[in-house]
Every structure is written in structure tokens, then in C-alpha cells.
Amino acid sequence: MSNSQRAIVIGGSLAGLWTARVLADHFAQVTVLERDSLPSEPASRPGVPQDRHVHVLLERGADIMSQLFPGITEELLAAGANRVDLTKDSRAKIRGQWLPQFESKIVTYACSRLMLEAILRRRVAALPNVALCAGAQVQGLVANNGVVEGVQVRWKDGRADGVETAAFIVDASGRGSKLPEWLPQIGYDTPEETVIDVRLGYAGRRYHIPNPPPAWDMMLVGADPPHNSRAGLIYSEENNIWMVMVAGILGDYPPTDEEGFLAFAREVDADFHAAIRKAEPVSNIIGYRRTENRFRRYDRLTRWPERLVALGDAVCGFNPVYGQGMTVSAMAAVELGNMLTASGGNLVGLAHAFQKKYPKIVEPAWLLATSADLEWLGNAEATSLPERFAGWYMPKVLDAIPHDRLVHRTFIEMQNLIVPPTTLFKPAIVLRVLGHWLRGR
């Protein structure tokens, strides 16, 4: 432990939980301030409206989770999660073609987001130097001479509003973060934002898994530009439940009534529709539309206050179909921990250095999500050269996947953030991808 003082984390969702776990190794006390009440069992919360939708934890996220919380995958499996090999146990259709199934040992622990968060929260709450404070709405920052020293808190239990002081403060309050408004109040600029919005909408519904169950644990049908803007996922969760998600791009939002939902699913794919027709629904149909890629460029601000950092969706949110947000926030929390270790307890300049590093942390996920989305929007919306090139090359990679196992496996590794996107530019892969493209022309 390098610092004998307290740290505060704003927001007790996934990014806040990873961060609290990491900060517990560096500060005497960690206080998580969360505006919602925090249920002890898996249950939805208003502050996380996406928590009733399907959430896939990428392999990189699962690896970090196991390092931060030893034994947690066994705990998830004991609670009913399913260990799913993403190429063997998953029937997947990409660009109109079903993919061959083979064992890759690239896995996810399929369960509801509600259960994942509840188990992580229990683990964090059990840490002796972490306090999870529910009903604490943070309303602003308290700063002195360029150093953030605390936060203003409105307590929902009727306690008088007050200031909570700390030596280090992390904003993990998600897409709705008020940091862009709080910064000018203490004399700093509002950041620029990069937004790539493919206007994707989700609709999700839970079903009992039919008896006998199919031979797969997961069915994924990707959108097929420019022919089909509809996609779907069937994902097995705990308690013998399927989470069924359908999504539409460019404003083709899926309906949330029974008839419309099923008609939309039929347009996703005939096998997909047939699978859910055999299953019994056990929930309402829930829609969701706030899905744009949004990167708040705190890294570009020339002035940044000491002892304040932001991470997770508060900085960079992704189109959720690529399943990246939980993993990328874990990667950011780990990087923060590494920087705190390297600092030896000297926090001067650390916060600004962390924000400047943020683009490196998110780059692989950002390139993947935005290059796929730019295929729908047209490459003209790409804001950087790597984005433009990725926007040209990635569709060719996707076209090659059904025909080439090496390209397929490498893509899954990259998608799971196990290898960097540059792996797809190795000569062996480029030759196969371009060879397939040229043959197609």
C-alpha cells in the first residue's frame, strides 16, 4: 500500500467495482459513492438501465476478473453460469454465412449481468478497507488550487448534504457522467467528444430453454451489410434461461410488442426465429437505444486537476453489440493500479498522465467497434487515418472468416482483446484476407 489516505469512487457499477478492488491495494480506505440503493441479490437498478440486457464478458475481462478476484469463475459456475467456448459451443452466422464450429478454448462465463454484478459487489463489499455507500448522489467536485479534494454529496436517506473529502477521486459514473459539467465549475475546460452513432437499438426478452435443449449454448447472427441491418443473439444464462436479443441498425429499432418482436426475429434469420419459437417466454420485451460510441477526449485537455481521474463508460462508451464495455473498464482499472504502483505513492501528475494514456487503453476496442460501424455509415465519418484504414480492411477480414480458420481464430482473439488489432495485419493474415477478397472480385 503506497498511500495512507482515502480514495473515493463515484459509481458502483462494473467500472466502479473493478476500480474499488484495485484502489484497495493502494489506499487505506476506499469509499464507493453510488446513487442507487444496492440490492444484496441480483436485481435491476435505475442507475444501470442496461442491466436487464445481455452482457457478454470477453475473455480478457474474465482473465482480469480472475486475477482481481481469485476463484470467482468457480463461484459464477456454482451459481449457474455456463462456460461457453466461443467457437465450439456457439452457432454463429457472419455476413450471411454460418461459421464452422471448432474448439478454441476462448471462453465466456455466460450469466446475467445482474448476477455478475451482484457477485462482484459481494466480493468488493467483503474487502476490509472498502465501503460501498448506497443512496449517495455526487453533485460536484471540491477543488483547491488545482487539486481536487472532495465531492459534494446529496444523501438520499435524508442526511444533510455535505462534502466527502479524499486524497484521490475516480469518476466511474457511466455514460451519464456529469464530469464535463463539473470541470468548468472548478476552472477547467469541457472535453471534446468523438461520437460515432450507427443508431442501433436493442430489444431483449428472456425465455425458458426448451427441453431437450439444442446442441449449442449460444446463437449469434451478425448484421450483414448492406443486405441485412438486423442481428440477434441467444445466450444461455443461469436458471435454465435464454436471454434473446435482437438489434437493428440505422434506426431500424426492434419493436417491443410480441408480434413485432417475433416478426423482427424472423428477419434476423430463419433458424434464429425457429429456435425462439420453441421456447417459452418468461419476461416482457425491453428496448434500449442509447448505444453510440462516445469518447470524451479528456486526454486532449492541456490542463487537468490533480488527484481526479475518470474511467469506464464515463470516458468511453462503445456500441454494445461488440461486448467490450465491462472488459475495457477492467483494463483501465488495472492500468490505474499499475500507475499507482509505479508512482510509489507520489500522486503529483498521475491523474493527468492516466487520462493521457486512456486512448492507448481503449484503442483496440474503439477501432473494432467503430470500423464495423463505419461500414454502415460510410468511411467518410472516420476521424483518423487508422479508423479509415480499419474501416476499409475490417469488412474484408469479416468476409474471409467463414472460409479461413486461422483468420477466424485470430479475429476472435482480437475481438476478445487477447491480442492487439495489429495481429490482423501480420503478413500471414493479410495474405489470406486479401487473397479471399481478390478471388471474390
Q: Which residues bind ligand FAD (CB under 6 A)?
A: 10-16, 33-36, 47-48, 50, 53-56, 136-138, 172-176, 178, 202, 288, 312-314, 320, 323-327, 329
Nearer to ligand FAD, 200 or 400 (CB): 200
Q: Which of 166, 169, 69 is nearest to 125 (CA)?
A: 69
Nearer to ligand FAD, 22 or 429 (CB): 22
User: Which single residue is written with the C-alpha cell 471540491?
Assistant: 142
DSSP letter at 41? S
Nearer to ligand FAD, 31 or 393 (CB): 31
Whole-number Å distance between alpha carbons of 166 and 186: 16
Minimal distance, residue 40 CB to ligand FAD, in Å: 16
Minimal distance, residue 437 CB to ligand FAD, in Å: 30
Nearer to ligand FAD, 328 or 433 (CB): 328
DSSP letter at 52? G
Minimal distance, residue 109 CB to ligand FAD, in Å: 12
Nearer to ligand FAD, 286 or 419 (CB): 286
Nearer to ligand FAD, 324 or 399 (CB): 324
Minimal distance, residue 174 CB to ligand FAD, in Å: 2
Residues 6+ apart with CB under 8 A from 336: 19, 22, 23, 170, 309, 311, 354
Q: Are strands 286-288 and 201-208 parallel, antiparallel or unpaired?
A: antiparallel
Minimal distance, residue 344 CB to ligand FAD, in Å: 28
Residues 6+ apart with CB under 8 A from 296: 177, 179, 180, 191, 192, 193, 310, 314, 315, 316
Q: What is the CA radius of gyration of the chain?
A: 22
Minimal distance, residue 148 CB to ligand FAD, in Å: 15
Residue 135 grid coordinates = 443512496
Which residues are paired to 201 by β-bridges?
Answer: 248
3-state class (DSSP) for residue 43: coil
